[in-house]
Structure 1
Amino acid sequence: MPVQMPLANLTLPPVALHDAAAVSALWSFPDLDTGTLCHHAKILGEAGERFVDSILLRFGMLPLALPEHSSADRLVLHPCAVLKLQVKTATAQRGGGWHFNISKGYNHSPGGVGPYAASDFDLLALVVLPENVVRFSRDRRSSQRIMRSEIAGLRADPRASLEEAMLALGLAAPAPPDNGLAALEGPALIP
């Protein structure tokens, strides 16, 4: 039986594709204890990044994943620019909201934890994974939060914060195509 040889620079995901223990542990998400959330933080962070990808793709923007130790998580192709996007994911609520530490690195790593440089990213995406919402921002404060009272608005208009963040960068939101539909009056008839 032929076997595919390993491809150069191709790495497997950080967890096994069929890790029964992870599936069992995460099946009750978001109703998990802190220890389980911490143990599976990497995969939950990946879920947050892919959720952001989904939002961007829905609005016609192409997100490209960057290697794990890059200063940003994604490059986003905007019609006028290539943007560096940093994604932060929160999984547990405390004090009426979800808290985000905007720092790079992690405890017990050789480089430790530190602030991002101004050139590390252009946009920030804060994901509240249990609520399936994201807020895009240019804000670089090291500690940020999304309050429970903001969730309904983020869910109702997932594009609003993206447009606001792009305007803060000096980029206009991509214009909808002029396909002649605006000239139609009344309901469109489909033969």
Structure 2
Amino acid sequence: MKLIGSMASPYVRKVRVVMAEKKLDYRFQEDNVWSDDTAINASNPLGKVPCLVMEGGEAMFDSRVIVEYLDTLSPVGKLIPASGRERAEVKTWEALADGVLDAGVLARLEATWAGRQDGERCQAWIDRQLGKVRTGLSAMSQGLGEKAYCSGIHLSLSDIAVGCALGWLEFRFPQIAWRADHPNLGRLMDKLMQRQSFIDTQPR
């Protein structure tokens, strides 16, 4: 398998962490989708990463779809419950973490995209998206409480998704003091950063 992605993308990181935790072999191909010479459209018509290309050449995209598939490839370290309320809980955690990222990415693009002049940027839009980030962080903190993991008693996709979101916020929005506001999220992130899968995939 070949994974096309960016070292800075938190969605790509989520897939890479899952692959590491599942002990799956793959080749990583770095691509900048914002570059004029990007080749991502040949595999994903939406022009986004991550994109997983199978041995036969068929492609799979969207991080949620990819990690769902990857979890079925090996019994090692099952990350998503098979069915029922437990499964719904894990997928809801993933949706919350990805939603925080979606808002953060929109805020950052509005503030930094080279296709706009400074006078064309909308601070009200940026503030609205960052408000979603903060309410999402509060929901994460409340849901985690004093538990060791977001869902159940072992590492799951819930923790991976949350950890990738928190790591990206530290990387792109260091001014958001989520560790001070939500110490339990800081403790979870510190624990995740002891895992080789998170150490090897830090955004850059």
TM-score range, shorter chain: under 0.3
Q: TM-score under structure 2 normalisation? A: 0.25
**Higher fraction of helix:** 2
* Structure whose CA Rg is larger: 1
Q: TM-score under structure 1 normalisation? A: 0.26
Q: RCO greater where, 1 or 2, for CA within 8 Å and sep 6 or more?
A: 2
**Higher fraction of strand:** 1
